[in-house]
Amino acid sequence: MLKSGVLTTPIFVLASASPRRQELLAAAGYTFTVRTADVDETPHPGEAPDAYVARLAEAKARAVLAAQPGALVLGADTTVVVDGDILAKPEDAADAARMVGRLQGRAHEVLTGVALVSAAWSRVAVASTTVWFAPMSAAEVDAYVASGEPMDKAGAYGIQGRAARYVTRIEGSYSNVVGLPVALVHALLAEYQGG
């Protein structure tokens, strides 16, 4: 439950190994434990990007809930979408360069599915943020990929790192682009407590 902005449920668990999600949740003042779940992140044939992130967020949360049935579990999944295509984490440097090349000089969407589940309650929602990238030269793309920053991030970039120099505008939640829409999480927690 939330009392004076503080969650006082017996166990609040973040079902994510992402250090960025952990940092965002901690910075917002929440106390939680971390437990990860091994979930197949392969998109289903014809699956819409928003349905994809919602499904994965809920699957992660429910996998952790099965191991800790008394907990309130938060699951999340973020992806980048351009021209209707899901850009997950790059497989290698060439894949990262391909993704960044598709993003430069235009707008794209960042979607995060958020699932909050307990044994008797659940909600799933999706946050969307539009991000505009400045044009990048081939040398700039190569240098960014060589930095190593893109390798563990959806869409092959981190807005909170070196890629910030190329982000000209965003519309929506900044924390969503980092990996967790904190205001949406707060709203779901408030709904969970009934207020």
Is 77 annotated in the active site?
yes
Instruction: Write the pLDDT tens digit of every residue in 86-136.
Output: 998 999 999 999 999 999 999 999 999 999 999 999 999 999 999 999 999
pTM to 2 decimals? Answer: 0.91
Query: What pLDDT does residue 37 have?
Result: 87
Alpha helix (H) residue ranges in the chain:
19-27, 49-67, 93-103, 138-146, 174-178, 182-193
Residue position matching structure tokens 């999944």: 77
Question: Can you give the residue ranges of every domain in the chain?
Answer: 2-193
- CATH domain 2-193 topology: Maf protein (3.90.950)
The mean-pLDDT minimum among 51-55, 172-176, 189-193 falls in: 189-193
Residue 5 confidence class, pLDDT cut points 50, 70, 90: very low
Instruction: Write the pLDDT tens digit of every residue in 25-72.
Output: 999 999 999 999 889 999 999 999 999 999 999 999 999 999 999 999
Which of the residues 40, 50, 77, 92 is marked catalytic?
A: 77
Query: What pLDDT does residue 8 have?
Result: 52
